Amino acid sequence: MNEVRVGVFVCHCGMNIGGFLDVPGLAKYALSLPNVVFAKDNQYTCSDAGLTEIKSAIAENKLNRVVVASCTPRTHEPLFRSTCRDAGLNPYLFQFVNIRDQCSWVHMQERERATEKAKTLIRMGVARAVLLEPLEEIEVEVNPCALVIGGGIAGMTCALSLANRGFEVKLVEKEDRLGGTLNSLYKLYPTHEEASRLVQAKTKEIEKNSKIEVLTSSEVEDVKGFIGNYNVTVRQGEKERLFNAGVIIVAIGATTLKPVGMYGYDGENVVTQMELERMLKKGRLNATTVVMIQCVGSRNEKRAYCSKVC
C-alpha cells in the first residue's frame, strides 16, 4: 500500500474566515497531524493563483490526498475536485472542510474557541481523507419516469415540475384525493388564500397534464433495483400495479403531534393549531379569550429541535 501523503490548504476567504480565525495557526496545526506532509494558508484558495498552488503542491510533494478548509462545498467542491483531476489526482481523493459556514460565521465573537473548533474540523477532515479510496465515474441509463410518493402540495408541485420538463410521472397518494395536509387547512399564510382553492387549482393542472398518472388510495409495497432503474410495486385497493421508475421522490409530509397529557389537552377547549384551523373553517370558535402555548412537544429533551410551525 502506498504511503498516504496529505496536503492541507486553509483559506482566509478574505475576512470571512481570516477575520475571525487564526488561519496561519490552523495551517501550522494541520502540518502536525498524522499523514500531513504539506500545509499552507491562502488568501483565496479558489483563485487562479490558489488553484495553481494546489496543482504545484500535488506534483512537488507527491500528494495523494488533498484537504481544503474554506467555505462551502455547495459552490466550490466541484472546482477543487477538477483541480485535483487536472493535477493527475483522482478527484475523489479530495476532502472539503467547511470552516466558514460551520465555524467562523457562527462564532464571530469567540476567536480562540472558534479556532479550536476549526482545528477539530480540520483534524476530522484529514482523518477522513486518509480513508478515501479512488473512484471512477460511470454512466448508467436512467428510466425517464419518476415516482412521487405523496400527493400533498410538495408532491403535487414536484410532479408538475417534472412533467412540465417532459418526464413521465407516477403520483402515488394513500388517501382518496390529492391535497394532503392542505385539505385540513382553511387559509394560508401570508397570502390568506383559501387552501381548498390552491388544492383545486393544482389538481386541475395535474388532471390536464398527460405526463402525470395519479394513483389515489394507493401505497408503495415494494421497491427493488437501483438509481436509474427501480422496479416498483404499488397496491391500489385489491389491485397490484408494477412499473419502472428512474427516480423516487418521497414527499409524504408529516403528522401533527397530539399533546395527550400536556397542558390539559382534550381536543375541545385545549386544542392543537390544526384543530383550531378546523374550528375557524367551520366558524364555531366561541371563546372570548385565546391563549397560545408555543413549542409544545418540541425544544425539550425528547425533541430538541424547533418545529418551525407556530
CATH class label, 6-131:
alpha beta
Q: pLDDT class for 287, splitting at 50, 70, 90?
A: confident
| Residues 151 and 171 sit within 8 Å (Cβ to Cβ) | yes
| Residues 134 and 81 sit within 8 Å (Cβ to Cβ) | no
SS3 (DSSP) at 66: strand
Q: Is the pLDDT of residue 18 over 70?
A: yes
Q: Average the pLDDT over 154-180 and give the result.
A: 97
Q: What is the pLDDT of residue 309?
A: 64
Q: What is the pLDDT of residue 129?
A: 98
Q: For residue 4, give the DSSP letter.
A: P
| Residues 243 and 232 sit within 8 Å (Cβ to Cβ) | yes
Q: For residue 152, give the DSSP letter.
A: B
What's this model's pTM, rounded to 2 decimal places?
A: 0.65
| Residues 154 and 183 sit within 8 Å (Cβ to Cβ) | no
User: Grid coordinates standing for 5?
Assistant: 501523503
CATH 3.50.50.60 location in the chain: 145-250
Fold classification of 145-250 (topology level): FAD/NAD(P)-binding domain (3.50.50)
Q: What is the pLDDT of residue 236?
A: 94
Q: What is the pLDDT of residue 1?
A: 59
Q: Regarding predicted confidence, which is higher, 78 or 279? A: 78
Q: Regarding predicted confidence, which is higher, 112 or 256? A: 112
Q: Is the pLDDT of residue 244 over 80?
A: yes
The pLDDT tens digits for 71-102 are 999 999 999 999 999 999 999 999 999 999 99
Q: Is the pLDDT of residue 310 over 70?
A: no
Q: Report residue 37: phi and psi, to 5°.
A: -110, -10
CATH 3.40.50 location in the chain: 6-131
Q: What is the DSSP string of 174-227?
A: SSSSSBGGGGG-SEETTTTEEHHHHHHHHHHHHHH-TTEEEE-SEEEEEEEEET
Distance (Å, rounded) from C-alpha 28 to C-alpha 106?
23
Q: pLDDT class for 193, splitting at 50, 70, 90?
A: very high
| Residues 113 and 87 sit within 8 Å (Cβ to Cβ) | no
Q: pLDDT class for 254, splitting at 50, 70, 90?
A: confident
The percent of residues above 90 in pLDDT, for the chain, comes to: 81
User: Which residue is it, cell 390536464?
Assistant: 208
Q: How many CA atoms lie within 13 A of 42 on its CB side?
A: 21
